[in-house]
Amino acid sequence: MRNQANSAEHILVLGIGNVLMGDEGAGVHVVRGLERAALPGNVRCLDGGTGSFLLLEPMQQAGRIILIDATIDGNPPGTVRRLTPRFSSEYPATLTAHDIGLKDLLDAAYLLGGPLDVTLFTISIDALQGVGMELSPAIAGRIDEIAGIILEEIAGISEPAAESSQKACHA
């Protein structure tokens, strides 16, 4: 069950992706970029890697979740979309593959703790990119900008918490 005492104000920023597969790791790279930012004390950033059920606990403890993941959706690489799906069935079918699948993880979280307050940021990538740790120029050139978009989202959520102590993200 969700920890109601702490969850109301807690924001989890969760970057998903495999950094060994280039642009597929874009969500993780954005979270790493956020490490350099000062954030309200109620914000926790987490490198979710390729996803696993170990992410259930931090997701259940959060009042709000900001997910960042790569998607192969036919849009130009680097396109960012903001979605607010209420159910796992409303998530894009084109989210890139992970160990258990982001939809599976969300289904488990919904089943164990009820509805989640999730905002999903998808980053379009090229389906034909090869394996490697380097981001393509189209994605690498946008990581800081996408981190800025996430910071704006956080500021919009945590306006009342703006006076709380500042802390950096930890991946």
Amino acid at 155: A
pLDDT at site 168: 39
pLDDT at site 116: 80
What pLDDT band is residue 131 in, cutting at 50, 70 and 90? confident
Flag whether the pTM goes above 0.85: no
Cβ atoms of residues 75 and 124 within 8 Å:
yes
Question: pLDDT at residue 100 above 70?
Answer: no
Pick the CATH number of 4-154 from 3.40.190.10, 3.40.1390.10, 1.10.287.1080, 3.40.50.1450: 3.40.50.1450
Residue 42's nearest CA partner among 171, 155, 148 is 155
Output the CA angle 64-9-148, nearest 5 degrees.
60
Q: Cα separations (Å) of 30 from 6, 50, 76?
A: 25, 14, 18
Question: pLDDT at residue 157 above 50?
Answer: yes
Q: Lowest-pLDDT range, 48-52, 93-97, 122-126?
A: 93-97
What does the alpha-carbon distance between residue 38 and residue 169 come to, in Å, rounded to a whole number?
A: 8
Answer with the residue of higher pLDDT: 36 or 136. Answer: 136
pLDDT at site 4: 44
Task: Express as a percent the part of the chain with pLDDT over 70.
Answer: 80
Query: Most confidently modeled of 53-57, 62-66, 161-165?
Result: 62-66
pLDDT at site 55: 85
Mean of pLDDT over the chain: 81
What pLDDT band is residue 164 in, cutting at 50, 70 and 90? very low
User: Average pLDDT, stretch 84-110?
Assistant: 69
